[in-house]
């Protein structure tokens, strides 16, 4: 329960304190007096992000404070105990400082805390039903949320949501695996092509040098032939060849050796040189005879060397590098599995997860249909107390919209196998039609109050704040709404911002919100009204008359009527 709300230097508020207490607390005042500012401060204290432009002009910092009393067994109390932030005797004090320069601080029971912690605790502390909540009631997701909240199915719905999210995560993983498998297959084809190409080339580290040498001979074939012929002619074939001249000198030196034995060694060496030169001459002859410069062979050599250069440029830079690339490609190819087994395992896990999600969703669907029947009956009872006794209500179900999983039971969304559609028959003899098509503003407000009342009872009624739930209603209907709020407040704390005196009359505490001007500055002021003050405020709300006016008499009657009726709540 909220026991204190303090606001300083926030928008039009210089300093304000609100002590709502148990039961029904109402806030009334002229339009623009600052009621919505108070609601904005509460929203920031339960986790909404702050805006520096809400700091009061001339101030550098806004200070927002709230004090709550918690049930020691409640989720917020247990959460705070787990965080080491528990307060004395179940007390929770939240303080939020909003600085113009953007340096904001959050304190929980005197400890620095995060905005995320406030956002987690907020829904467990205060439920705010804003001015546009009745319009939100027209949306299917809001109607489904109310049904789940009424039926106590939130945890079930969360289980389905988590199960569907798990299937979608597996779908993403499957898609990633399939993409990776496709990339592996592409890599496999590339490696196989590489191996095929390099193996077909039959590369040899020594081949390139030999081919280059042979090509060099082929390119210089004419010069080589000419040089070989010239050498053979000069050594042997031509007149006056070296061998012919050497042969003559050999005979003369042999005669000289016979005359002078001292020249025998020289004659022997010349003899040896003759035969050596003769061998060279024969070798040159044979070389010349064996020359065969085939132009087709040269063409083949060029193509082969070009092929080797092309491969080595692509793979490793030289023949040795290309052969290393071939060996690595073979190794990579051998270690490259297809991933089919892992893909099959993942697909099996996905099917199992989908089956589990579908089973949970089917169970939730059955419970929702049972809860829908109970909600229809309970809502009709509540609506009868809000001057809609003839109104009938039921909940139908449609397939979920948006992204959904395909299942044998139909599309499965994150909220289950269905979305809800509230149908009403406001008048006897009329058929059921969707709430979004036929409900008036006043009917929507009462529908919202009736459904919120049922949900609040189901959840132990945290602090409920209704912001102008009286839209589109008045007179006796307003009194019925006031009675409903007062009844709701017997099970918990209700705070209501209203323009209707018929609702304000039911308050256990009544605060008036007004704007004042002092020293040229406008400020919002909050006053707790006593009995006379309530009469004055209700009179203003009724007709704006003075103390003796009919409006004041009517105000007294409203207060007395509400006071007597509350005795039976």
* Residue 405 DSSP symbol: B
Would you list the DSSP string of 441-494?
Answer: HHHHHHHHHHHHHHHHHHTT--EEEEESTTTT--HHHHHHHHHHHHHHHTTS-E
pLDDT tens across 40-80, in order? 898 899 888 877 778 888 888 999 999 999 888 888 888 88
pLDDT tens across 186-206, in order? 888 988 898 998 888 888 888
Q: Are 131 and 467 in contact (CB under 8 A)?
A: yes
Quote the pLDDT of residue 25. 95
Closest to 47 (Cα-Cα) out of 9, 93, 96 = 96
CA dihedral sign of residues 159, 163, 164, 165? positive
Q: Are 424 and 432 in contact (CB under 8 A)?
A: yes
Domain ranges of the chain: 202-335
Closest to 16 (Cα-Cα) out of 37, 32, 1 = 37
Helix (H, G, I), strand (E, B) or coil at 543: coil
Q: Are 76 and 92 in contact (CB under 8 A)?
A: yes
Closest to 28 (Cα-Cα) out of 556, 470, 445 = 470
pLDDT tens across 133-154, in order? 667 778 888 899 899 989 999 9
In angstroms, the CA 480 to CA 478 distance is: 5
Quote the pLDDT of residue 276. 92
Closest to 349 (Cα-Cα) out of 184, 183, 172, 179 = 172
In angstroms, the CA 456 to CA 489 distance is: 10
3-state DSSP: the chain helix, strand, coil percent, rounded to 5? 60, 15, 25
Quote the pLDDT of residue 133. 62
Q: Which residues of the chain have pLDDT under 50?
A: 461
Quote the pLDDT of residue 48. 84
Bridge partners, residue 126, by sequence = 463
Token code pair at residue 425 = 């028959």
pTM value? 0.65
Quote the pLDDT of residue 505. 94
Quote the pLDDT of residue 6. 94
Quote the pLDDT of residue 547. 60
- Residue owning tokens 């690339």: 325
Would you list the DSSP string of 99-159?
Answer: ETTS--EEEETTEEE-HHHHHHHHHHHEEEE-TTHHHHTTSHHHHHHHHHHHHT-HHHHHH
Angle at 385 between CA 384 and CA 388, to 5 degrees: 40
């Amino acid at each position: 329960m909220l026991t204190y709300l303090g606001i300083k230097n926030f928008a039009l508020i210089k300093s304000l304190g609100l002590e709502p207490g148990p039961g029904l607390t109402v806030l009334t005042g002229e339009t623009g007096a600052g009621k919505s500012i108070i609601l904005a401060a509460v929203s920031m204290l339960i986790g909404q992000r702050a805006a520096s432009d809400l700091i009061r002009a001339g101030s550098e910092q806004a200070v927002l404070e709230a004090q709550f009393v918690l049930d020691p067994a409640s989720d917020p109390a247990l959460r705070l105990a787990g965080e080491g932030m528990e307060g004395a005797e179940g007390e929770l004090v939240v303080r939020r400082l909003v600085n113009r320069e953007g340096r904001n601080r959050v304190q929980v029971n005197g400890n620095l805390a995060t905005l995320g912690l406030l956002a987690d605790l907020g829904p467990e502390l205060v439920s705010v039903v804003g001015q546009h909540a009745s319009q939100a009631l027209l949306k299917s997701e809001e109607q489904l949320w109310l049904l789940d909240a009424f039926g106590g199915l939130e945890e079930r719905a969360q289980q389905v949501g988590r199960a569907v999210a798990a299937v979608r995560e597996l779908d993403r993983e499957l898609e990633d695996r399939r993409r990776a498998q496709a990339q592996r297959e592409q890599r496999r084809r590339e490696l196989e092509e590489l191996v095929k190409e390099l193996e077909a080339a039959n590369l040899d580290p020594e081949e390139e040098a030999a081919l280059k040498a042979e090509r060099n001979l082929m390119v210089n074939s004419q010069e080589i032939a000419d040089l070989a012929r010239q050498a053979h002619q000069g050594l042997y074939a031509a007149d006056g060849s070296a061998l012919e001249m050497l042969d003559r000198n050999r005979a003369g030196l042999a005669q000289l050796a016979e005359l002078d034995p001292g020249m025998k060694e020289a004659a022997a060496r010349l003899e040896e040189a003759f035969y050596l030169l003769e061998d060279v001459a024969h070798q040159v002859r044979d070389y010349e005879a064996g020359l065969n410069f085939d132009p087709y062979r040269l063409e083949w050599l060029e193509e082969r060397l070009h092929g080797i250069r092309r491969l080595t440029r692509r793979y490793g830079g030289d023949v040795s590098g290309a052969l290393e690339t071939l060996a690595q490609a073979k190794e990579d190819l051998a270690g490259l599995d297809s991933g089919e087994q892992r893909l099959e395992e993942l697909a099996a896990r996905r099917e199992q997860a989908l089956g589990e999600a579908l089973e949970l969703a089917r169970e939730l669907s059955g419970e929702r249909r049972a809860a829908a029947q109970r909600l229809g009956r309970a809502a009709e009872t509540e609506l009868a107390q809000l001057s809609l006794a003839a109104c009938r209500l039921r909940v139908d179900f449609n397939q979920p919209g948006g992204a959904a999983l395909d299942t044998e039971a139909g599309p499965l969304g994150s909220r289950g196998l269905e979305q809800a559609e509230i149908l009403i028959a406001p008048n006897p003899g009329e058929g059921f039609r969707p709430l979004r098509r036929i409900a008036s503003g006043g009917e929507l407000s009462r529908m919202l109050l009736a459904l919120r009342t049922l949900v609040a009872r189901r959840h132990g009624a945290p602090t409920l704040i209704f912001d102008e739930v009286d839209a589109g209603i008045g007179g006796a209907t307003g009194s019925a709404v006031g009675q409903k709020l007062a009844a709701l407040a017997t099970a918990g704390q209700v705070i209501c911002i209203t323009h209707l005196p018929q609702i304000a009359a039911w308050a256990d505490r009544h605060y008036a919100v007004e704007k004042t001007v002092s020293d040229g500055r406008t400020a919002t002021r909050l006053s707790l009204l006593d009995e006379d003050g309530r009469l004055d405020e209700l009179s203003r709300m009724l007709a704006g008359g003075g103390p003796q006016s009919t409006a004041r008499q009517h105000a007294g009657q409203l207060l007395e009527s509400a006071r007597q009726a509350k005795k039976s709540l």
